[in-house]
Amino acid sequence: MLKSRLCDLVGIKYPIIQAGMGPFSNNNLCVAASNAGVLGLLSTSGLFSKDNQPWIYKAFVESGEADPDDTMAVALEKVLKRTYRLTREKGGIFGINVMVSAELVQYSNIMIDTAIKVREDNPDIKNHFKVIFTSAGDPVPWRDKIKSAGFTWMHVVPSVKGAQRCKKAGVDVIVASGHEGGFHTSWEPVHSMILLPATVEAVSDDKTLVVGAGGFCDGKTLAAALVLGADGVQMGTRFLATQESDFHQLWKEGVVAAEDRGTLVARGFVGPARWLKTPRSVEHARNTLEKSPGVFLGIPDDYTTIDMSLIDYENESIKAVYEGNKEMALMAAGEAAQRINDLPMVNDMVLGIVKDAENILRGIQRKNLL
C-alpha cells in the first residue's frame, strides 16, 4: 500500500491532504476527507467574514451546526466537536487551516486558543484533531503556542526562502505551494515543478517533511510528487469538485467545465488570485491591470488609495455565487481544473487516486527505462 512519512507522522492512510479553502466552508468536505483516510482540513477564516461577507459566514455556521449569533470561539468549538463526532468512528484525522498574516493576529489567536481548549476539554479529541496548518504569514512567532500544545504543525510557503524560515521555526511539515494552485497565489510565483524539488533539496530531513501543493489532482501527479522527493500532496481544486464538498454546485460545475487554459490570475481580496476563466473574471483581470497593476508586478495594493470598485466587484461576485448567479459569479480554482472532469464521492476519488499512483510507481520498474 502507498505510504509515506506523512502517513506515519499524523496517522492517516494515504499521503494526501485535503486543502483548507477559506474563507469558504469546508465543514462537510473535511468530514468526508478524514473518513476517506486522508488529512481533512477545516478552513476557519469564514468565521471573521460576518460583517463584510455575511453570505460566506452564514454558509459556514450553518454547515458547521453553529449559531449565527455565536462568538467566533464558540462557533469554532462547535465545528470542531461536530467534526470529531462525525469522524471518530472511522478513525479520521483532521486539522484546521489558520491564516496568520500580521493584520489577522487577533483572529489567529482566537482560532488557535480555541483549538487548544477543545483538546484540553476532551483528551480523546487529540487522537483525531492533530494538526494546525498555518498560512499567509511568518511562522516564527507561532512556534511556542502551537508546539507546546502538542499539535503537528504544517505551514504553507511559496518559496525556498519561506521554507527555510519554516525550518527555523520548527515546522513539522512544510507545504510548498506552486503557482498552479487555486485562489491566492504568491506575489512572485514559482511553479510546482521547480518549487517542490527545490524545497525538498533545501529543507527535507529526518524531522522536516515536505508536501507539494498546486496542480496535484490525480494518481499521476501524486506519483510525480513522491518521485520529486515529497512526502505527500495537498489538493484543493480536486476536493472542491466532489459530491460532499461545501462549495456551491455552480462552482463545482465550473471546475468540471473548465478546459484548456481554463483559469487566469487577477486581483483577489489580498493580492493575486487564480480564478476560473469566465467573461466576469476576464473583465476583473482587465480592471486589475488598469487599477491595480501591482498584482502583476509583485507590488501589494496601498489600501489608503486603492480603487474600491475592485473590492466591491469581488464581493458582489462572490455573493453572486451564493445566489446561484452564473453570469455575475467569480469562482476561484487551480489550473488543475482543466484536468478535472467529474464530481465523485470523496472516498471513491481518494481510492482511485491512490490506486493509480501505486500502479504508476510499480509500472515505472517495468518500462525498461534503465
Ligand X SMILES: Cc1cc2nc3c(=O)[nH]c(=O)nc-3n(C[C@H](O)[C@H](O)[C@H](O)COP(=O)(O)O)c2cc1C
Positions in the binding site for ligand X (CB under 6 A): 19-22, 24, 43, 45, 97, 135, 156, 177, 180-183, 213-216, 234-238, 240, 332-334, 336
Q: Which is nearer to ligand X, 86 or 333 (CB)?
A: 333
Contact 48, 109 (CB under 8 A): no
Q: Which is nearer to ligand X, 238 or 284 (CB)?
A: 238
18 in helix, strand or coil?
A: strand
- For the stretch 349-368, what's the b/e string if a residue is b when 16 or more beta carbons lie within 10 angstroms of its beta carbon? bbbebbebbeebeeeeeeee
Please report how close the Cβ of residue 236 comes to ligand X at its closest, in angstroms. Answer: 2
Q: Which is nearer to ligand X, 129 or 133 (CB)?
A: 133
The residue nearest ligand X at its CB is 236
**Alpha-carbon gap, residue 140 to 142, rounded angstroms:** 5
**Alpha-carbon gap, residue 206 to 196, rounded angstroms:** 17
Neighbours of 370 (CB within 10 A): 5
Q: Which is nearer to ligand X, 77 or 180 (CB)?
A: 180
Burial class, 55, CB count within 10 angstroms (exposed 0-12 / middle 13-18 / buried 19+): middle
Q: What is the Rg, in whole angstroms, of the alpha carbon atoms belonging to the chain?
A: 19
Contact 179, 189 (CB under 8 A): yes
Please report how close the Cβ of residue 30 comes to ligand X at its closest, in angstroms. Answer: 12
- Geometric angle at alpha carbon 299, from 298 and 304, rounded to 5°: 155
Q: Which is nearer to ligand X, 7 or 222 (CB)?
A: 222
**Alpha-carbon gap, residue 190 to 209, rounded angstroms:** 20
Task: Dig out the grid coordinates for 72 from the structure.
Answer: 467566533
Please report how close the Cβ of residue 97 comes to ligand X at its closest, in angstroms. Answer: 5
Please report how close the Cβ of residue 123 comes to ligand X at its closest, in angstroms. Answer: 28
Please report how close the Cβ of residue 183 comes to ligand X at its closest, in angstroms. Answer: 4
Please report how close the Cβ of residue 359 comes to ligand X at its closest, in angstroms. Answer: 22
Q: Which is nearer to ligand X, 197 or 214 (CB)?
A: 214
